[in-house]
Amino acid sequence: MADQKMDQVRNFCIIAHIDHGKSTLADRLLEKTGVYQKREMVEQILDSMELERERGITIKSKAVRMLYKAGDGKEYVLNLIDTPGHVDFTYEVSRALAACEGALLVVDSTQGVEAQTLANVYMALEHNLEILPIINKIDLPSARPDEVRSEIEEVIGLPADEAPLISAKAGIGIDEVLEQIVRAVPAPQGDPDAPLQALIFDSFYDNYRGAICFVRIVSGTVRAGMTIRMMNSGARFEVVEVGARSPDYEPLAELRAGDVGYIAASIKDIHDTRVGDTITDDANPAAEPLPGYRAVVPMVFCGIYPADGAQYENLKDALEKLQLNDASLTYDPETSQALGYGFRCGFLGLLHMEIIQQRLEREFDLDLITTAPSVIYRVHKTDGTMEEVDNPSNLPGPASIDYMEEPYVSVSVHTPQEYVGALMEVCQGKRGEFKDMVYEGQHVCLHYDIPLSEIIFDFFDQVKSRSRGYASYDYELTGYRKSDLVKLDMLLNGDMCDALSMIVHKDRAYARGRSIAEKLKDVIPRQLFEIPIQAAIGGKVIARETVKAMRKDVLAKCYGGDITRKRKLLEKQKEGKKRMRQLGSVEVPSEAFMTVLKMDE
Amino acid sequence: MEKGSVYIHVPFCVQKCAYCDFYSLAGMSDSMAGYVDALCREIWMQAARFGEIRAETVYIGGGTPSLLEGKDISRILSVLRECMELSPACEITMEGNPGTLREAALEEYRKAGVNRFSLGVQSFSDCLLRTLGRIHTAAQAAEAVRMLRRAGFSNVNLDIMYGLPGQTESSFLETVGTALTMSPEHLSCYSLIPEEGTEMGRRVFSGEVQLPQEEVLLRMEEEMRGLLKQNGYERYEVSNYALAGKECRHNLVYWECEPYLGLGPGAHSDFGGRRFSHPANLRGWMQAINKKELFEEPEDDGSPEKRRFDRMMMGLRMVRGVDLNRFVRDFGRRPEEIWPDTVREMRRLSMIRDELGSTRSVELSNLSTDEETMPNDQNAATSELDPTRSDRMQSPGPDKEERLALTEKGMDVMNAWLVRMMEEEEKG
């Protein structure tokens, strides 16, 4: 490997719309190059997490090295870098793309170009990647490869006359794909003798070896025994091993400029291996880190509580374990009057939040109650100090607040022209501030500044539904802006329920209060007494609904002496109530806490 | 000698009604003779097993017992008398479907000893009768009542249903009014409960039909109760009303959790300190009995926790509520000591009747105690659940009946309370 000439290395990724066959193609490439024997193949090797496989999305990126003897008789090293596929992980995707020279663009020949295809293409183009269109699923009866070929040319503007027609599933055309990678993806460049610059595009925690970094060597060479330095964090480590996955970890003598591989350096804390950081040689450091580093910070927070209070310790252990592998997840203990002991958790975005919740529930078998997500608000107090608040319950009293600020993001929405109007409405409805609109062939890119708190509600769903799935977006935190915010409280039977409080823009408070009260009225079952549900700002009630008292709940006939059956019916009723939380005098089902999330104002 | 009531299950019907989830078989009349033989055999077997049994009530239910011939009933009852001691005032009830009554048979039933007849009328609307899958018309039901009277039955119950799909308030009240013109001694008015596994359940759960709204149901009940009260029918259980002294003693056995022995396939027993049942399987039961084997399975572990809960679950169905003296005697503690939160909450929401201690509006000659001996009812009532005055409650006179009862409002939501009790007990 060390002798492998740089011009015999190809670093590439695969981009595709969901379900267009990205993972299947990856499997075929691995199989064809002998990384996996066919019979050993578990389908879709790269998406190894159960959740990923189920949702058909890649959450964490990974890199696999393949050896391929090309038609020209030379043996090439092909590094396939898999990329995560969701807006929450935009930054991780951008680092993975920065590690490549080329991208395979998989398009389903029965579906054609779709929204996500475009968003991915835009990102790949931003990183100056050579894009190779590939037309997949040609074995299906409804395939229309010629149409799709011209669609790629017209809609995306990429020449597609050489696009291989393949079926990843049936293994058709895979050789041609490999040949094209060799032919069309540029070989990496870089000076192996220059000071070391290695871009971390992924990292994960191994119980035995500590945090392991996946890197692209941009310049220089790294080998075991060297002392390396993380240029942005400053942390130093001694390299224990370098190598590449193929698919197991295979140690190599060194990684040189142009190579993709891993570095193990007994790193205890995954936070020292931040994606985007540059690794250099401590003895002979590079003049500057590679561009584009961004500390990934959680932007969305919510309370996570065990449905059964006795599970608190288990939840804590589970979060600890997940954090080992996920530097962007944060958690701190918090207490809620309504929900007891739990954790305030920070996430990159809503999908990240959902993934963590689901992993907690599945992998750790926990039953959770999740509160509405919040962003970090800046509260400037009358005494001149500033507090950051990510939990509405911690908001200081109105008298001590001078003014508040909320985070804004710059959002780019990519869409076919026909949905521009609808999407502008969505953005405006989210308190968005129009920046500009750029025409890109058949497509338009809308730029808006929007409060992050609006994005985390149902922006994703709205963008998708108003564009029939064709539009996509990404966003970047731009900073804080002064905003007229209030704390909206919900009262159940007169008692404030802290877990349902939220910070909202004053203009939205009434509508949201009204809507939450209505939703709660629907999810809270009738109980033995009437329950007023009130939405209040400060001491002022702005909306009210009532759950009427239950008036009939009786098994009418009771003959024949079958008493056991009556008891069983009651027991069933009791079990049905297990997912209820007792808030003061009121029983509230767990899902009530999530309903405040699902807005449709 | 074991004291107890006897229930006999007759699992035959002409046709299965749409709402029925009791064990019954349609089109099996060929098996009836074999059934009667086996039943008589089982009576012998059970009597041998439990020694002498003294029965205060006998209930022949179903299914459709009126499909049996007079001689069958006569034989069953004479075997019962041979094997057990039926008390002189023994209430012997038999159920019947108006579409199956024959005057001659009725007379034979009565001569055999049946002294109470329960007629499944359900409705006096032909349209609703069809909805329910009943085999008779309203006119047949009216004629059946006349037949019963002619045959000499002076203690008759009519079963009436409400809350039926398509039933209006006025249509139900018309049925109640029609029933009243027949002057039955007893009325069972129960609301339709769609059960899984029944045709009606399927229709309701699939949304094919809709049941009347809760408000309509509540109005139906209110009007019905008013009407019945005016005519001298006192409500004594969730869905049962009777003229003074005509309460169904057999059903009171269930609600008071007194022992009963169930015979026939699908019958349930609480006898000899255990709950057990016969599987709902006619063939299996007949084969077992003919081999002189018992055909039964235990129903639960019979723990005191279950027993005391059952006592509440059944007892609170009665207007007069749960006998507290007996409760304390059997379980060592009062309900408010076992389920303090629930009982306190019931009280807070006025779901426990305030005139406790004097709630024996139901006076059964054989069950009630001497009310006049209790002084100052009002005082006793308010102290009932007040722990600060517990000295008075804990030492009720030996002959003083003390009961825990629900108000009308409380009875309407009885299940919710029972579930709360279960939850409270689970939390410890």
pLDDT tens for residues B269-282? 999 889 999 999 99
The pLDDT of residue B368 is above 50: no
Token pair for A324? 């080992």
| Chain A contact set for B345 (CB, 8 A) | 528
Pick the residue with more confidence: A590 or A10?
Answer: A10
Q: Which residue of B has its CA nearest to A580?
A: B423
Q: Does B262 touch chain A (CB under 8 A)?
A: yes
Most A CBs within 10 Å, among B258, B418, B424, to test the A interface: B418
Q: What is the per-residue pLDDT across A442-499, written as a single tens digit (0 to 9) for each?
A: 778 899 999 999 888 778 888 888 988 778 787 888 899 999 999 999 999 999 888 8
The model's confidence at residue A560, banded by pLDDT at 50, 70 and 90, is low
Most A CBs within 10 Å, among B413, B414, B421, B426, to test the A interface: B413
Q: What is the pLDDT of residue A556?
A: 58
Q: What is the pLDDT of residue A96?
A: 87
The pLDDT of residue A50 is above 80: no
Regarding beta strands B186-191 and B156-162, do their DSSP bridges make them parallel or antiparallel, or are they unpaired?
parallel
Mean pLDDT for the stretch of residues A324-350: 87
Minimum distance, in Å, between the CA of residue A556 and any CA atom of chain B: 6
Most B CBs within 10 Å, among A526, A527, A563, A587, to test the B interface: A563
As a whole number of angstroms, the distance between CA A232 and CA B267 comes to: 79
The model's confidence at residue A86, banded by pLDDT at 50, 70 and 90, is low
The domains found in chain B, sorted by start residue, are 2-255 (3.20.20.70), 304-427 (no CATH)
The pLDDT of residue A58 is above 50: no
| Chain B contact set for A309 (CB, 8 A) | none
> Residue B253 contacts by C-beta under 8 Å, 6 or more apart in sequence?
B4, B5, B56, B57, B259, B260
Pick the residue with more confidence: A552 or B342?
Answer: B342
Q: Say if the Cβ atoms of B351 and A562 lie within 8 Å.
A: no
The pLDDT of residue A90 is above 50: yes
Interface of A with B in 495-554 (CB under 8 A): 527-529, 550-554
Candidate from A89-103, B42-56, B146-160, B284-298 with smallest mean pLDDT? A89-103
Q: Which residues are bridge partners to A228 per DSSP?
A: A237, A281
Q: Report yes or no: A543 and A534 within 8 Å, Cβ to Cβ.
A: yes
Q: Which helix (H) or strand (E) holds B63?
A: none
Q: What is the pLDDT of residue B115?
A: 97
Q: What is the per-residue pLDDT across B71-83, written as a single tens digit (0 to 9) for each?
A: 999 999 999 999 9
The pLDDT of residue B406 is above 90: yes
| Chain A contact set for B419 (CB, 8 A) | 570, 573-574, 577
Q: What is the per-residue pLDDT across A14-41, written as a single tens digit (0 to 9) for each?
A: 888 767 777 788 888 888 888 766 545 5
The pLDDT of residue B129 is above 50: yes
The model's confidence at residue B218, banded by pLDDT at 50, 70 and 90, is very high
Q: Say if the Cβ atoms of B413 and A551 lie within 8 Å.
A: yes
**DSSP code, position B419:** H
Task: Out of B192, B349, B413, name the one closest to residue A554 (CB).
Answer: B413
Question: What value of ipTM does the predicted structure carry?
Answer: 0.84
Q: Report yes or no: B380 and B328 within 8 Å, Cβ to Cβ.
A: no
Interface of B with A in 53-112 (CB under 8 A): 61
Task: Out of A559, A571, A574, name the one closest to residue B251 (CB).
Answer: A559
Q: What is the per-residue pLDDT across A417-438, written as a single tens digit (0 to 9) for each?
A: 899 999 999 999 999 999 999 8
The pLDDT of residue A115 is above 70: no
Q: What is the pLDDT of residue A204?
A: 80
Q: Does A571 touch chain B (CB under 8 A)?
A: yes
Q: Say if the Cβ atoms of B416 and A553 lie within 8 Å.
A: yes
Mean pLDDT of chain B: 89
| Chain A contact set for B251 (CB, 8 A) | 559
Q: Does B314 touch chain A (CB under 8 A)?
A: yes
Q: Averaging pLDDT over each range in A385-394, B113-122, B266-275, which range is the top one? A: B113-122
Q: What is the per-residue pLDDT across B19-56, written as a single tens digit (0 to 9) for each?
A: 998 999 999 989 999 999 999 999 999 999 998 899 99
The pLDDT of residue B381 is above 50: no
Q: Report yes or no: B38 and B290 within 8 Å, Cβ to Cβ.
A: yes
Candidate from A280-284, A387-391, B231-235, B398-402 with smallest mean pLDDT? B398-402
Q: Say if the Cβ atoms of B412 and A551 lie within 8 Å.
A: yes
The pLDDT of residue A597 is above 90: no
| Chain B contact set for A554 (CB, 8 A) | 238, 411-415
| Chain A contact set for B260 (CB, 8 A) | 561
The pLDDT of residue B365 is above 80: no
Task: Out of B300, B413, B422, name the one closest to residue A553 (CB).
Answer: B413
| Chain B contact set for A527 (CB, 8 A) | 416
The pLDDT of residue B314 is above 90: yes
Mean pLDDT for the stretch of residues B350-372: 50
Q: What is the pLDDT of residue A598?
A: 63
Mean pLDDT of chain A: 86
Q: Which helix (H) or strand (E) holds A154?
A: none
Q: Percentage of chain B surpassing pLDDT 90?
A: 79
CB atoms within 10 A of CB B101: 22
**CA geometry: angle B170, B175, B179, nearest 5 deg:** 145
Strands of the sheet with B297-298, listed across from one edge? B234-237, B240-242, B186-191, B156-162, B116-122, B85-96, B53-62, B2-10, B260-263, B268-271, B274-277, B297-298
The model's confidence at residue A370, banded by pLDDT at 50, 70 and 90, is confident
Query: Concatenated DSSP letters for A482-513?
Result: EE-EEEEEEEETTEE-GGG-EEEEHHHHHHHH
Candidate from A284-288, A521-525, A561-565, A596-600 with smallest mean pLDDT? A596-600
Q: Percentage of chain B surpassing pLDDT 70?
A: 89
| Chain A contact set for B268 (CB, 8 A) | 560-564
As a whole number of angstroms, the distance between CA A312 and CA A306 comes to: 6
